[in-house]
Amino acid sequence: MSCPHLSGLAALLKSAHPDWSPSAIKSAIMTTADLVNLAKNPIEDETLLPANAFATGLGHRYTRTVTNVGEANSVYKVNVIPPKSVNVTINPNTLSFLEVKRKLTYEVIFSRLATAANNTMSQGSITWNSANYSARSPIVTIIGEMPRL
């Protein structure tokens, strides 16, 4: 049932922002999604178990260019919840947008912890917060061979 909901949401975003590309609409949907439903329970996958980052559309990005669709003169500070197996460094850790539609790039650096066990998968997130908005990107690390999902 997610397809009709996402299609409708994409249509609403396109009508509100006709100049946005399909990738900008996808990014807006993915980075503003909640981890919990209205009852404050974790979002579930098709098996009615808590959805992991793969079930919610995670991709692989080591550098990312973001576009300010909020307000001019916005400052976003990063908050990282690292996966258990790695350190995560974001450079820069603050993004300052002087105008709307300005693009800025940040880098994500992963370094494996000495205590990380092989054949494990863990989840975390990178969230950029301003005074009025936030954008969250889930991250997943896999150490060793990928576990079966």
- Kindly report, residue by residue over 58-78, the tens digit of the pLDDT: 545 788 899 998 899 999 999
User: What pLDDT was estimated at residue 26?
Assistant: 82
pTM of the full structure:
0.67
Query: Is residue 56 pLDDT above 90, yes or no?
Result: no
The CATH number that applies at residue 110 is 2.60.40.2310
Domain-embedded: residue 80: yes
- Kindly report, residue by residue over 98-125, the tens digit of the pLDDT: 999 999 999 998 888 888 787 788 899 9
Number of structural domains found in the chain: 1
Domain-embedded: residue 33: no
The SS3 assignment for 123 reads strand
Mean pLDDT of 129-146: 85
- Amino acid letter for position 73: N
Domain-embedded: residue 98: yes
Mean pLDDT of 75-94: 94
How far CA 59 is from CA of 31, 38, 98, 104, 148, in Å, comes to 12, 26, 29, 19, 17
Domain-embedded: residue 99: yes
Structural domain boundaries enclosing 109: 59-143
Domain-embedded: residue 88: yes
Domain-embedded: residue 131: yes
